[in-house]
Structure 1
Amino acid sequence: MAGPEVFLPEGFAQVERKRALCRQYGMEPSARQGDFLKYEGGDKFTFGTMISRHNEELMDASDIVIANLTPFRGVSADPGTVYELGYMVARGAKAFGYTNTARPYATRVAEDHYGGDTRTAETGRLVGPDGLMIENHEMIDNLMIDGGIARSGGFVIRHEAPPKARLTDLTAYEACLARIAETLLGR
């Protein structure tokens, strides 16, 4: 399981709910993420690299990745989650994702980042008022994310959760688990 849940006020409980659902669908989740390791003082950078190493060891022991690609602190998925997704795809693992917003990446960038102030450039590309191209492939995020998942044989589940539940709604996660169980486990 990859996602920004560790940053939520009730992150530990949210991760435990996700772990329980994973088991319900016949899959064993990896051990807890290193972000729940207890900081006991000292050099914060060293502690951060310890968490990073721990998380990579968990990924090395995992067969698949299920990534929460719901936008976090902006229009895109959490960068740590994206790193974990790329790490697993590079290892040759099957990758799956879900998002609690059904709006494509280009729509989120145009509306949420640029406030709708976009235009079609002479090149035919959608651009913001700063002239920067807005990637428009009807994907949930940057094309490397969707592309990596697709090439791994995985899929992405989209769900429009209510705004106040966007970071905690488990509807898309459970739909993802159900489809994985059907596809990989024949359930």
Structure 2
Amino acid sequence: MKKLYIAGPEVFLVNAREQMDRKAALVRQYGFEPLCPGDLDIPAQKTKKAFGLAISKVNEGMMNAADGVIANLTPFRGQWADVGTVFELGYMCALGKMVAAYTNVASDHYQRTLDFYDNQITEDAKGYRRGPDGLSLEDFEMTDNLMLDGGVERRGGIVAVHAAAADEMYTDLTAFEECLKFLAERRDERDEGMRPEELDASNDD
């Protein structure tokens, strides 16, 4: 059975375990085995930094063991995706795993940057739009930074977008399930194209 690592800022929610369990149940419905941050106990460490490093090591171990990832890129504590999730998505892209991502906010990266600058944007002589700090803006009609959308889509994945209600921004699983459907279809198409002996071998995963 293929394993999916579930990346996202849900670990910071008050009901983090409940939300991860909801995701894990959906993952199983689609025939995958879920690997979620927080699934494994972390032994006590001598310092806070050592504890943080231990969490990082465990999460990397789960990603190494996974066949793919679904990353929640819903803006977190600001206008952009959670930085830990961004690292995990990049890590999985680099390993050549199956990748999919989603956001529960409909506005794209450019619109959220405009909001960040309170629409105080100027255009320079070369046509670049810049904020009051002089920094230029990305405008590529993408969910987040171009390297995130690009990394997912160039590897055959999807970035699903769903406009969730404000009080369900981190709990609405509509786009998450869209990613699951997509990855399940990719898995099934690949399996259907295998020779019988290859399919038998894959079932041993």
Deviation at 1:67, TM superposition (A): 0.3
* 1:153-172 → structure 2 map (5 Å cutoff): 153-172=156-175
Q: Contact 1:100–1:159 at 8 Å: present in 2 too?
A: yes
| Equivalent residue, structure 1, for 2:132 | 129
| Equivalent residue, structure 1, for 2:93 | 89
Residue in structure 2 matching 1:57, options 56, 61, 64: 61
| 42-51 or 116-125, which deviates more | 116-125
Which ranges in structure 2 are unaligned for 5 or more consecutive residues? 1-5, 193-205
**Sequence identity percentage:** 49
The normalised TM-score by structure 2 is 0.85
What's the secondary structure of 2:179's corresponding residue? helix
Which ranges in structure 1 are unaligned for 5 or more consecutive residues? none
What's the secondary structure of 1:98's corresponding residue? strand
| Equivalent residue, structure 1, for 2:154 | 151
Q: Does 1:14 align with 2:14?
A: no
Count of matched residue pairs: 185
Q: Contact 1:105–1:140 at 8 Å: present in 2 too?
A: yes
| Equivalent residue, structure 1, for 2:181 | 178
Q: Which amino acid in structure 2 is aligned with residue 5 of structure 1? A: E
Deviation at 1:38, TM superposition (A): 5.4
Q: Return closer, same or farther for 1:63/1:99 CA change in 2, 3 Å cut-off.
A: same
Deviation at 1:120, TM superposition (A): 2.3
What's the secondary structure of 1:29's corresponding residue? strand
Q: Contact 1:6–1:36 at 8 Å: present in 2 too?
A: no
Taking the aligned partners of 2:51 and 2:84, their CA distance within structure 1 comes to 16
The normalised TM-score by structure 1 is 0.93
Q: Contact 2:108–2:143 at 8 Å: present in 1 too?
A: yes
Taking the aligned partners of 1:17 and 1:34, their CA distance within structure 2 comes to 14
Deviation at 1:5, TM superposition (A): 0.6
Q: Which amino acid in structure 2 is aligned with residue 93 of structure 1? A: K
Q: Return closer, same or farther for 1:27/1:88 CA change in 2, 3 Å cut-off.
A: same
Residue in structure 1 matching 2:28, options 23, 46, 52: 23
Taking the aligned partners of 2:60 and 2:101, their CA distance within structure 1 comes to 18
Q: Which has the larger radius of gyration?
A: 2
| Equivalent residue, structure 2, for 1:99 | 103
Quote the RMSD (CA, aligned, Å).
1.8
